[in-house]
Amino acid sequence: MSKGLFVLTCQDARIRRVVERYFDSLDSEPIRNILAGASMAILTPDTREAVLRGLRLALNHHGVEVVEIIDHTDCLAYGKIDGDEFAFHNERILEAAKILQQAFPVAVRGRLIDTQSGRIRTLLAVNRGFYKEQE
């Protein structure tokens, strides 16, 4: 499952242990990229190139086929979210997935960590342009 996996997570220390437990549950070690806001790093031109450069290397040298973007609630990079945080992050990750898939032939999964409970929720899966909401 995790073979060829590139994971982009936020740098927030509050989610570090949850992310580490998640990585421990995988059957192989993913390529990690840690930037403030996770999906925001792809959506922001100033940091997008850093993500794309890292992903390009991972694709060319590590057999990456899947990108996973892990956002979290109460993200300081995004600031206060009015309304449903799940829906907000779902939309941001979908936008980020479209950018990644314009650049590379990768599948993209999105997850959201509830900062208070530590629960990881799957938001979406996009397989080379195919978008499907998950439970």
Give the architecture-level CATH label for domain 5-133: 3-Layer(aba) Sandwich (3.40)
Contact indicator for 10, 75 with CB cutoff of 8 Å: yes
Contact indicator for 90, 28 with CB cutoff of 8 Å: no
Q: Which two tokens stand for residue 15?
A: 């989610």
Contact indicator for 91, 28 with CB cutoff of 8 Å: no
CA 19/CA 86 separation, integer angstroms = 18
Q: What is the pLDDT of residue 28?
A: 85
Q: What is the pLDDT of residue 1?
A: 42
Q: What is the pLDDT of residue 128?
A: 56
Residue type present at position 5: L
**Rg of the chain on CA atoms, in Å:** 14
Residue ranges of the chain whose pLDDT lies below 70: 1-3, 126-135
Q: What is the pTM of this model?
A: 0.89
